[in-house]
Amino acid sequence: MINLSRRKKEIRDISPEVANALQAAGYIICGSRRINGNGTQLFLTNGCIVTCYDTGRFIVQGKNQDEPRTALQKVMPDTKMTTMEKKLLKAFIEEQRTKENQQKEG
């Protein structure tokens, strides 16, 4: 028998992890709210908004977003890349290795 039911997305609230990483980096969270049952938004005092989705991904928006994004990417590197980005990076690395091996041989 074939199971035609769709696989459910993994639900994982990452907002506590993100909040801890931001606070460790010196950012102050002045508020938060749940959005459409899909995630949580964290509001920082510097004007930045970090949206943490239940799928385990996050988006940094608003003012002064570069530094908080960098701080989060250092702590949570797996959440910043999509599957396509990972595949492209892997292909790029393999291409670079092939070029290096060709240079060594010839």
pLDDT digits (tens, 9 = 90+) for 1-29: 444 444 444 455 677 888 888 898 899 99
Domains, the chain, ranges and CATH? 15-80 (3.30.310.10)
Give the end-to-end CA distance of the chain in Å, rounded to a whole number: 56
Segment 61-84, tens digit of pLDDT: 999 888 888 888 877 765 545 666
Three-state SS across 50-82?
Answer: EEEECCCCEEEEECCCHHHHHHHHHHCHHHCCC
Give the pLDDT confidence score for residue 83 in this predicted structure: 67
Gyration radius of the chain's alpha carbons: 19
Give the pLDDT confidence score for residue 81 in this predicted structure: 55
Q: Give the other-Cβ count within 10 Å of 22's Cβ.
A: 21
Name the pTM for this structure. 0.61
Share of the chain above pLDDT 90, in %: 14
Give the pLDDT confidence score for residue 72 in this predicted structure: 84
